[in-house]
Amino acid sequence: MRVIEEGLHTSIQDLGRIGYRSSGFPISGPMDSFSMKLANYLVGNKENTAVVEMSFVGPTIEWTKDAIISITGADMVPRLNGKQISLYRPIIIRSGDILQFRTARNGLYTYLAIKGGLAISKKLGSRSMLVRTEGTGLLSRKLQVGDQIPINSITTPNIKLNWSMNPNTFEIYSSTEVIHYIEGPQADWFKQNQLDITEWSISTRSNRMGYRLMGDEIETTRTQQLLTEPTSFGSIQVPPDGQPIILMADSQPTGGYPKIGQVILADLPKLSQLLPTKRFMFERCTISNAYKALATQKQLLTKLSHTLKQKWEG
Amino acid sequence: MQFFTLAENALMLQLGDKVNTALHQKLRHIQKSIDRLQNPAIIETVIGYTTLVIYFDPFQTSHREIKRILSHCIDQTSSMINSQPSTIHQIPVCYEDSFSPDLSYVATTNGLTKQDVIKRHTDNTYLVHFIGFSPGFPFLGGMDLSIATPRKTRPRMNIPKGAIGIAGGQTGIYPSSSPGGWQIIGRTPIELVDLSNEQPTLLRAGDQLRFYAISKQQYLEWSGGKRSK
């Protein structure tokens, strides 16, 4: 496949890079792992297969090979040879087809999975784009006009690809926006409930590294500085200006700002998809409720993965 | 000793609240003994100045179980702390004008000459506490505090790869170009990150390093030689 218009920030991502955080590398991987996994299940891939992640404004892609694809996540109004196509279903692509994405109508991140995956070599154990390094190749930068991304060859099956999913079932973009969090290691550095009482929105100065929040200033009760320590995808850090930053997929593995909270893992896909225009509330939850939410999400993914696997195996 | 929940899949151990070498060595010992377990539920471990985080698969294990494993490792290592010989890296640095925009400021702030700053920067042996912030970026301990200088009030948009900086009582090296607020006093031609290597960073937690001054001519030959390889 060839990129003929690059979009805002289009990158290759698998489920992330494991084992290199202590060398300073972020875990990377998709911002919305739920949608990314669904994209892979829809085309019969393993969930860790590398996909193309697009951010807010998608690219235009010319196909130089036949393929079977699926599109999940934010709706960038995809058009195949000018004709609008649906998300959340497998789609047959013919060599020469043009697939065009536009600005996201809801959410921020869209995933394009290709049956069989991308024919590119791993770097440091992963096919997720490397950031803050100076390497070469398709994993060292966002995708650009003219990039040729080799895909693995597949044979078009003689079964009908007539299944689809209704994305509304997954409540990723539900209208009442509540993001749940558990208390962070330095929660007692701040006055109680400061995250919970005001509405927040995400600044446009946000990216895969961090989401900057806008709302009432969070006051600290301590003057001491934190000694730099490890962080997590979802850590809610509070810098001295009192405007929190949530560390996202490409965030640094260590940080020096106190962490008031941690977005529960089950809510990270939803948080990733929040548009800067939307307001949301934080709600504190217990660790056991965080586990329950994670287990529920995992059960749903497992069920969908089994169902879709059966479709492919006939 | 305190345990914190960093996330559903991450437990943090904190030992003390002061940066020192003995504490670092203890954290490294604990980290090594956990890594040696090769427990399939443990994904990876990362240390900070006084902290160690274990990232794990929450569907295979729990905070309670990880805490138990960690406590066991702490008991085992408390008796065997000794300073093993570690790798000492010699890092060439060109402190000449075109590579050291803030050297005069660091000197003036501390009532020293530029030569004094270079001497004090090259006299000490530094400990790599851990790698963080960006790939290959070393958090170093052991700088002479008589050259400590606050960060710049307005960070630079682009600090070049190899830049050597001072921020407060810390010194460090930028392994790749990035924005940053450190006072820049020199530049090294050494590559700190090699993506083709399974161990992609030159420096690792527990290593030691020393800086030595080179001329601009040597710097250019060094990086020129690298490029033509």
B161 touching chain A per CB within 8 A: yes
Interface probe for A, chosen from B52, B55, B134 (most Cβ of A below 10 Å), is B134
Residue A173 included in any domain: no
A236 and A149 share one domain: no
Residue A287, domain member (yes or no): yes
Domains and CATH numbers, chain B: 2-78 (3.30.1360.40), 88-228 (2.40.100.10)
> Which of A129, A160, A191 represents a domain boundary (last residue)?
A160
Report pLDDT for A208: 97
Whether residue A13 lies inside any domain: the answer is: yes
Same domain, A20 and A105: yes
Do A132 and A198 have their domain in common?
A: no
Q: How far is B126 from chain A (nearest CA, A)?
A: 17
Q: What is the average pLDDT across B170-187?
A: 93
pLDDT band at B103 (very low <50, low <70, confident <90, very high): very high
Residues A132 and A185 in one domain: no
Does A119 share its domain with A11? yes
Residues in chain B closer than 8 A to A287 (CB atoms) = 5, 8, 63
Q: State yes or no: pLDDT of B229 exceeds 50.
A: no
Q: What is the pLDDT along chain A (314 residues), one digit of tens a residue?
A: 999 999 999 999 999 999 999 999 999 999 999 999 999 999 999 999 999 999 999 999 999 999 999 999 999 999 999 999 999 999 999 999 999 999 999 899 999 999 999 999 999 999 999 999 988 899 999 999 999 999 998 877 677 788 888 877 666 656 568 999 999 999 999 998 899 999 999 999 999 999 999 999 999 988 888 999 999 999 999 998 899 999 999 999 999 899 999 999 999 999 999 998 889 999 999 999 999 999 999 999 999 999 999 988 87
Q: How many domains does chain A have?
A: 2
Instruction: Judge if A154 and A8 occupy the same domain.
Output: yes
Domain membership of residue A302 (yes or no) is no
- Pair (A16, A140) in one structural domain: yes
In the prediction, which pLDDT does B228 show?
Answer: 39
Q: Select the residue of B7, B53, B131 nearest A23 (Cβ to Cβ).
A: B131
For every residue of chain A, which 3-state class applies, written as one string?
CEEEECCCCCEEECCCCCCCHHHCCCCCCCCCHHHHHHHHHHCCCCCCCCEEEEECECCEEECCCCEEEEEEECCCCCEECCEECCCCCCEEECCCCEEECCECCCCCEEEEEECCCECCCCECCECCCCCCCCCCCCCCCCCCCCCECCECCCCCCCCCCCCCCCHHHHCCCCCCCEEEEEECCCHHHECCCCCCCCCEEECCCCCCCEEEEECCCCCECCCCCCCCEECCCCEEECCCCCCCEEECCCCCCEECCCEEEEECHHHHHHHHCCCCCCEEEEEECCHHHHHHHHHHHHHHHHHHHHHHHHHHHC
Asked if residue A314 is part of any domain, the answer here is no
A37 and A77 assigned to the same domain: yes
Q: Mark whether A15 and A144 lie in a shared domain.
A: yes
| C-beta atoms of B133 and A252 within 8 A | yes
Interface A-B: count of C-beta contacts within 8 A: 136
Query: Are A133 and A252 in a shared domain?
Result: no
Interchain CB contact of A17 with B (< 8 Å): no
Average pLDDT over residues B199-225: 93
Domain coverage including residue A96 = 2-160
- Classify residue A16: in a domain, yes or no: yes
Question: Does some domain include residue A169?
Answer: no
Question: Is there a single domain that holds both residue A126 and residue A71?
Answer: yes
Identify the CATH number of the domain in which residue A228 sits: 2.40.100.10
Q: What is the pTM (predicted TM-score) of this model?
A: 0.94
Instruction: Indicate whether A13 and A143 sit together in one domain.
Output: yes
Q: Give the model's pLDDT for residue A173.
A: 58
A33 interface with B at CB cutoff 8 Å: no
CB contact under 8 A, B6 and A183: no
* % residues pLDDT > 90 (chain B): 82
How far away is chain B from the Cα of A19, in angstroms, using its nearest Cα?
Answer: 6
pLDDT at B82: 60
